Structures are given as C-alpha cells and as structure tokens.
Amino acid sequence: DAGVIQSPRHEVTEMGQEVTLRCKPISGHDYLFWYRQTMMRGLELLIYFNNNVPIDDSGMPEDRFSAKMPNASFSTLKIQPSEPRDSAVYFCASSFRDREYQNQPQHFGDGTRLSIL
C-alpha cells in the first residue's frame, strides 16, 4: 500500500520566492497534519485538518504560511514570501479515528527538505 507521499523531496530557492509543498495522505485517513522539523526546535505541529477542514492552525508561524486541503487526497503548504529562517524539513502525516473513537498512529511521509538562500 502506498504511504503518505510528499513532493518535492528537496527544494532550494531564494528568499522572497513562493514555495509550495504537496502531500497525498493515505487513502481512508481523515486526519492530515503538517509538521516542521529543525535541530533547534524538534518536530513542531503547524496545522492539522479533519475531513478536509482546518482544526488547529495555532502552530503556523505567521501569515506567510498557509495550508489548504481541497479534497481528501491532497493538501498543500505554501510559504509566501519565503525567508532563510523557514529552512527546515517539512513533514506531512495522516491518521484516522477508529470505530471506538481512538486515534490511530500517525503515518509520516519522507518529508521535504527546504533550503531558503
């Protein structure tokens, strides 16, 4: 079975440019999470969706960051304009809630390594 698919795997761009990261969750999963990972701050939750609706975006650093989930099989995280301090590995993860309303583990993609010069 295909896991969570992220693209691109690597992105290098100059500051001020728009960056779009893409994620395809596992089919049937109704939760989608975007994380950022750095050495200094570890794994930080940016935003998460349930049934395509944003539930908690309190982790989004500032207005330069935005995320959308137009349908159950696709989500984007956009940074505009990008800055060098946005350099990090960005992960997408998906999960589902079972019939007993227990949250199942999160399945992570392999991440996008973003470098802003």
Q: Return residues touching other proteins (CB under 8 A).
A: 4, 31, 33, 42-43, 45, 48, 50, 55-56, 91, 93, 95, 97, 101-103, 105-111
Q: Which is nearer to other proteins, 16 or 61 (CB)?
A: 61
CB of 58 vs other proteins, minimal distance in Å = 10
Give the neighbor-by-neighbor strand order of the sheet with 74-79: 5-7, 19-24, 74-79, 65-71
Looking at residue 62, the DSSP 8-state letter turns out to be: S
Q: Quick one: 71 or 102, whose CB is closer to other proteins? A: 102
Q: How far is the CB of 81 from other proteins (least distance, A)?
A: 27
Residue nearer to other proteins on the CB measure, 17 or 51: 51
Sign of CA dihedral 64, 41, 39, 45: negative
CA-based nearest residue to 93, from 2, 32, 26: 32
The residue to which tokens 């969706």 are assigned: 49
Minimum CB distance to other proteins, residue 37 (Å): 9
Angstrom distance (rounded) from CA 34 to CA 36? 7
State in angstroms the smallest separation of the CB of 33 from other proteins: 8
